[in-house]
Amino acid sequence: MKKIINDPSTVVTESLRGLAAAHGDILKVRTEPAVVYRADAPASGKVAIVSGGGSGHEPMHGGFVGLGMLDAACPGAVFTSPTPDQVQAAIEHVNGGAGVLLVVKNYTGDVLNFETAAEFAAAEGLDVRTVVIDDDVAVKDSLYTAGRRGVGGTALLEKIVGGAAEGGYSLDECEALARRVIGSVRSMGVALTACTVPHIGEPSFVLEDDEIEIGIGIHGEPGRRRVPHQPAEQLVQTLLEPILDDLPFSSGDRVLLFTNSMGGTPLVELYLAHGIAERLLADRGITVERRLVGPYVTSLEMQGMSLTVLKVDDEMLRWWDAPVRTAALRWGA
């Protein structure tokens, strides 16, 4: 394993130190327990948006902390949900008196740890709500599974609800908007290569030279099926079709298209794929109103990509367009 690290057990802490050094104007970091929070927290009178999850998906979530997006992020060990202490510390730190919305990706570990923290916070009389995002259509959503995973849609959700919170939405309004976004967003991913978790030291799974894994999650867990590698045109279709069929999206819909790199895919390939996705959507009569292209919800160095499609309305677009100033997303500020 060749990684730019000193010791697998200190990767997250050391990386947070670098994040803090790089973006001192935007965020601050505390350790034990680890929390990334807005430099100007708490924002008094504003609903606080808190998220988090395992590390290794950078820039999510620490890179989304700042004006117009998250008030705090709780980074767990690599690919491991954070602990309730972290979430509690985050809540305490950023609570500005207008309530706290926890944005949780649907993984058993994330849900349980955030739930525990929310119980503690509620016991202290804080108004804490939780929304769980589960946008990954690769996973069967049934009573007999852990349900869909939260993947790329999380970035869009955090931007939109973060914008609304900054714009003065109440906790009720933030929660309602978040639920609408969750109901309107779907994703699907593919891995060309596996990633290597530092404390494991070997790739999470093994793909042959001509094999790709469809329906990959963001934790190095294997996907739904292995297929031979295919041209980009076909690959983008393979990802897009289950997304469109699921919601479903149909002609006349207005969408935000998010073409996400799993981390190790060159931008030249990602834009190529994005161009194909745009064309396929246009062919179906779907209007792409906004787009995001880049490595935002990653799996360490994994090569691969995901597509996320969000059916937007004017309210969502308004908060998507609203100023944001974070390490990873920045406009209008």
Q: Where do contacts with its own copies occur on this chain (CB under 8 A)?
A: 2-7, 11-12, 14-22, 55-56, 58-59, 63, 78, 192-193, 195, 209-210, 212, 229, 231-233, 235, 259, 263-276, 278, 288, 291, 293, 295, 298, 300-301, 303, 305, 325, 327, 330-331, 333
| Nearest residue to 34 via CA among 57, 59, 54 | 54
Residues 66-95 that bind Mg ion (CB under 5 A): 80
Query: What tokens were used for 103?
Result: 């944005």
Residue with tokens 């073409």, as numbered in its chain: 259
Task: Give the active site residue among 23, 57, 61, 93.
Answer: 57
Residue 56 main-chain phi, psi, to 5 deg: 100, 0
Binding flags for ligand ADP, 85-114, as an x/- string (CB under 6 A): -----------------------xx-----
Residues 209-238 that bind another protein (CB under 8 A): 217, 219-222, 224
DSSP state of 81: P
CA angle, corner 226, sides to 108 and 232, nearest 5? Answer: 105
CA distance linking residue 132 with residue 233, whole number of Å = 32
Stretch that binds another protein, among 183-191, 194-202, 289-297, 317-325 (CB under 8 A): 194-202
> SS3 of 77, please?
strand
Whether 219 is catalytic: yes
> SS3 of 143, please?
coil
DSSP state of 248: T
- Asked if residue 153 lies in contact with residue 199, where contact means CB atoms within 8 angstroms, the answer is no
Binding flags for another protein, 54-93, as an x/- string (CB under 8 A): x---------------------xxxxxxxxxx--------
Q: Give 76 or 295: the residue with its C-beta nearer to another protein.
A: 76
In the list ligand ADP, Mg ion, its own copies, none, the entry touching 275 (Cβ below 5 to 8 angstroms by class) is its own copies
In the list its own copies, ligand ADP, Mg ion, none, the entry touching 2 (Cβ below 5 to 8 angstroms by class) is its own copies
Taking CB atoms, the residue at the shortest distance from ligand ADP is 109
Cα within 13 Å of Cα(183), Cβ side: 8
Query: What tokens were used for 276?
Result: 């194909």
Residues with a known catalytic role: 57, 219
Which spans of this chain sit near ligand ADP (rule: CB under 6 A)?
81, 108-109
